[in-house]
Amino acid sequence: MSAWLIDAALVARENAYAPFSKFKVGAAIEDDTGRIHTGCNVENATYGLTVCAERIAVFKALSEGARKFVRVAVVADTETLTPPCGACRQILWEFCGDVEIVLANLSGKCETLRLGTLFPRAFDASFL
Number of neighbours of residue 123 by Cβ within 10 angstroms: 11
DSSP 105: -
The yes or no reply on residue 105 touching ligand THU (CB under 6 A) is no
- Please, which residue, 119 or 125, has the CB nearer to ligand THU? 119
The yes or no reply on residue 87 touching ligand THU (CB under 6 A) is no
Concatenated DSSP letters for 34-53? S-EEEEE-B--TTSTT-B-H
- Please, which residue, 34 or 48, has the CB nearer to ligand THU? 48
54 is catalytic: yes
Question: Which residues are 79's β-sheet partners?
Answer: none
- Please, which residue, 77 or 124, has the CB nearer to ligand THU? 77
Distance CA 75, CA 8 (A): 10
Stretch that binds ligand THU, among 3-11, 52-60, 63-71, 98-106 (CB under 6 A): 52-60
Task: Write out the binding residues for ligand THU, residues 57-86 only, by CB under 6 A.
Answer: 74, 82, 84-85
One-letter amino acid at 62 equals: L
Q: CA distances (Å), 52 to each of 33, 40, 43, 92, in order?
A: 24, 7, 8, 12
Select which of 14, 54, 94, 111 is catalytic: 54
Q: What is the largest CA-CA distance in the chain?
A: 43
- Please, which residue, 16 or 36, has the CB nearer to ligand THU? 16
Residues making contact with ligand THU (CB under 6 A) = 18, 21, 23, 25, 41, 43, 50, 52-54, 74, 82, 84-85, 88
- As annotated, the active-site residues are 54
